[in-house]
Amino acid sequence: MSYFFQLVVSGIVTGSIYALSALGFVLIYKSSRVLNIAHGQIIAGGAFITYALTVWLKIPIYLSFFISMIITFFLAMSIERIFLRRLIGEPIISIIMVTIGLMSILDGIIYLTPFGTYNLSFPDFFPKRPIIFWGISISWTRMAGVIITFILISLFSWFFKKSPIGVSMRAVSDDQMASMSVGISVPKVFGLAWAMAGMSAAAAGSIIGNITGLNFETLHAFGIAVFPVVILGGLDSIIGAVVAGIIMGLIQQFAAGYLDGNWGLNGTADVLPYIILLIILLFKPHGLFGTHEIERV
């Protein structure tokens, strides 16, 4: 039984990271209907900025965490301004391809830095001994990661529910024409959505980097791994991203814990999300919480 609870706990840890990564993805899709394939690279970039600030510039981690969030805020905003703004109104394939191009460019830039080749890891900030209660162990880093993730997610949701800017962003995602007519600048909202997504990506990246170490491959794999999460939760639902993130984390941990090694299976945690994704797409394409906008052909 304690094995089961151990899996549940680690599933929630993985899931909350998925949730935070998916949050940025959903933000961009919700406001501007852009499928951002370069999200993993932004996550990795955020993690590397945090590392550079903490280790090379010797800034305390909690400060560098925020500074890296601010840097990616402007970075993502300029990405939107330079690349995506020109393509508003273009066919969907152009928009997908431009984010793919962006992914490649960011890849290239990161490979130019030491982070592309070396595996670095953050210095330990927390006691090494894991917390153990009722036979379930969880490391301090993971614990802190989960707590920060939940704080950030609730902050983001508060921002969208209550603050004027958040309300205007929701208005744009609902009806661009109507929100333009009441004086909301739609391009500005797009830029802001990217900026917020960059911010959440940096936070996610720093947390992942602290847990798994700074390997570019693992970090940017999160950009693809969020696809099953966002589809399960519904492409345009923030609540969906959080719930689906945790469900996906649990599924992955259970798959790794119970399926692997039995019946000759191996590495099922990597493939199960995509199989679920296909099943959801076939039977419930708008996900658990997404708006019903799919038209049947």
Residues that bind another protein (CB under 8 A): 35, 83, 86-87, 90, 92-94, 96-98, 100-109, 111-112, 116-117, 224, 227-228, 231, 235, 265-267, 270-271, 274-275, 277-278, 281-282, 285, 294-297
Extract the tokens encoding 70: 């601010």
* Nearest-angstrom CA–CA distance, 168 and 155: 17
Looking at beta carbons only, is 110 or 153 nearer to another protein? 110
Looking at beta carbons only, is 224 or 239 nearer to another protein? 224
Looking at beta carbons only, is 146 or 232 nearer to another protein? 232
* Nearest-angstrom CA–CA distance, 179 and 156: 21
Residue 251: CB atoms within 10 Å: 20
Closest CB 257 distance from another protein, rounded Å: 17
Amino acid (1-letter code) at residue 20: L
Beta-bridge mates of residue 295: none
Looking at beta carbons only, is 121 or 266 nearer to another protein? 266
Closest CB 164 distance from another protein, rounded Å: 30
Longest alpha-carbon distance in the chain? 61
What are the φ/ψ torsions at residue 127 (nearest 5 degrees)?
Answer: -55, 145
Helical (H) or strand (E) element with 147 = helix 140-162
Looking at beta carbons only, is 1 or 297 nearer to another protein? 297
Closest CB 216 distance from another protein, rounded Å: 11
Closest CB 163 distance from another protein, rounded Å: 29
- Cα radius of gyration (the chain): 19
Closest CB 260 distance from another protein, rounded Å: 10
Nearest Cα residue to 222 out of 7, 81, 22:
22
HSE, side-chain direction, 13 A CA sphere, residue 196:
28
Closest CB 82 distance from another protein, rounded Å: 9
* Nearest-angstrom CA–CA distance, 139 and 131: 6
Closest CB 278 distance from another protein, rounded Å: 5
Residue 293: CB atoms within 10 Å: 10
Looking at beta carbons only, is 180 or 284 nearer to another protein? 284
Looking at beta carbons only, is 116 or 130 nearer to another protein? 116
Using DSSP, state whether 50 is helix, strand or coil. helix
HSE, side-chain direction, 13 A CA sphere, residue 208:
32
As a whole number of Å, the end-to-end CA separation of the chain is 48
Closest CB 52 distance from another protein, rounded Å: 17
Looking at beta carbons only, is 179 or 268 nearer to another protein? 268
Extract the tokens encoding 204: 């996610």
Amino acid (1-letter code) at residue 78: S
